[in-house]
């Protein structure tokens, strides 16, 4: 894989920000005549399709968890190898502990993630702009970010995978309000309520996912395929994820719900299901010759 970490000034955030991008360069050759290719030590195939001007890759936006950054998924899982094997780009922005929200304290991470970032990636990297070629996956906090982004912007992604999304956005409005009013969040995690605002103003606000989801399912617009999963040993996080799956099923969303027996809130779980998502769940073309 080609692996790039770049830094640029985001207009949406009014600050410089890091983004990690990988794409399957090892699967291609610059040789126009394969017979002229010299035998060398290589991790790739003996015969490779050529790079072509204007070629485009299917793209997975991979969203990190709370307390992580854009490098963490690549340091704690084998996702880069899984992407290479499936001939797909990965894009991981550093969204800090933002919950992927346009926060009440003035940082517009939703705008950055769903408007600015795709525009930038499709302009300067070989990323396909077509909806059917774009997917979003997140784990932990990033799972809730992925869920929110796909519900709000269904025109951007064809599949959303929420892995252990246990903090931040949820379709369970009453449960979200109760969390915000709890001593834990009010007294020990100030960033949470600073992001979403007062609990008594949540219902019907821009942070309330339930009416957004309900409106989408009745709109006639294309709806992403949703895959929601958690481990059986994730405690309150598993309960929270299960509730989101229950509500989405009631609303009529196309949904695959998975519970991993013995699974915990850790990278062992997420590494396993990143592989499954890329190998089996996402509608990837996979063959390098099929790059657009």
pLDDT of 266 higher than 90: yes
Contact in structure between 82 and 279 (CB atoms under 8 Å): yes
Q: Is residue 36 part of a domain?
A: no
- For residue 87, the enclosing domain spans 2-29+48-290
Report if residue 35 sits inside a domain: no
Rounded to an integer, the average pLDDT of 8-18 is: 98
Find out whether 83 and 1 touch, Cβ atoms under 8 Å. yes
- Check residue 70 and give its pLDDT: 98
Residue 41 has pLDDT above 80, yes or no: no
CATH number for the domain harbouring residue 244 = 3.40.50.1820
- Band the pLDDT of 290: cuts 50, 70, 90: confident
The rounded distance, in Å, linking the Cα atoms of 133 and 121 is: 13
Residue 42 domain-assigned? Answer: no
How many domains is the chain built from?
Answer: 1
DSSP 102: B
Please check whether residue 257 lies inside any domain of the structure: yes
Q: Are 87 and 288 in contact (CB under 8 A)?
A: yes
Query: What DSSP designation does 127 have?
Result: B
Taking only the tens place, the pLDDT of each residue in 43-67 is 555 578 888 889 999 999 999 999 9
What does the pLDDT read at residue 44? Answer: 52
Least confident interval from 34-38, 102-106, 260-264, 283-287: 34-38
Does residue 283 lie in a domain region? Answer: yes
Tell me the sheet residues that pair with 16: 9
Tell me the per-residue pLDDT of 198-235, one tens digit each, with 9 for 90 and over.
Answer: 999 999 999 999 999 999 999 999 999 999 999 999 99
pTM of this prediction? Answer: 0.94
CB atoms under 10 Å from CB of 284, counted, come to 21
């Amino acid at each position: 894989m080609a692996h790039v970490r770049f830094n640029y000034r985001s207009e949406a955030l009014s600050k410089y920000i890091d983004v990690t991008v990988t794409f399957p360069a090892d699967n291609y050759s610059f040789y126009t005549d394969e017979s002229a290719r010299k035998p060398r030590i290589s991790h790739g195939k003996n015969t490779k399709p050529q790079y072509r001007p204007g070629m485009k890759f299917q793209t997975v936006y991979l969203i990190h968890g709370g307390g992580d950054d854009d490098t963490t998924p690549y340091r704690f899982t084998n996702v880069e190898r899984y992407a290479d094997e499936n001939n797909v780009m990965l894009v991981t922005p550093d969204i800090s502990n933002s919950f992927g929200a346009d926060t009440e304290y003035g940082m517009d991470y939703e705008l950055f993630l769903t408007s600015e970032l795709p525009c930038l990636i499709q302009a300067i990297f070989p990323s396909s702009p077509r909806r059917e070629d774009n997917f979003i996956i997140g784990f932990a906090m990033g799972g809730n970010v992925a869920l929110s982004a796909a519900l709000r912007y269904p025109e951007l992604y064809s599949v959303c995978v929420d892995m252990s999304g246990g903090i931040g956005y949820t379709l369970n409005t009453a449960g979200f309000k109760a969390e915000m009013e709890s001593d834990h969040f009010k007294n020990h995690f100030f960033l949470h309520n600073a992001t979403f605002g007062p609990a008594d103003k949540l219902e019907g606000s821009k942070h309330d996912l339930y009416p957004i989801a309900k409106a989408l399912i009745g709109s006639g617009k294309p709806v992403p395929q949703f895959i929601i999963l958690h481990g059986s040993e994730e405690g309150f996080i598993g309960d929270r994820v299960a509730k989101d799956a229950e509500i989405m099923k009631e609303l009529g969303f196309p949904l695959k719900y998975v519970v991993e027996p013995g699974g915990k809130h850790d990278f062992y779980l997420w590494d396993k299901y990143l592989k499954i998502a890329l190998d089996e769940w996402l509608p990837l073309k996979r063959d390098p010759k099929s790059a657009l």
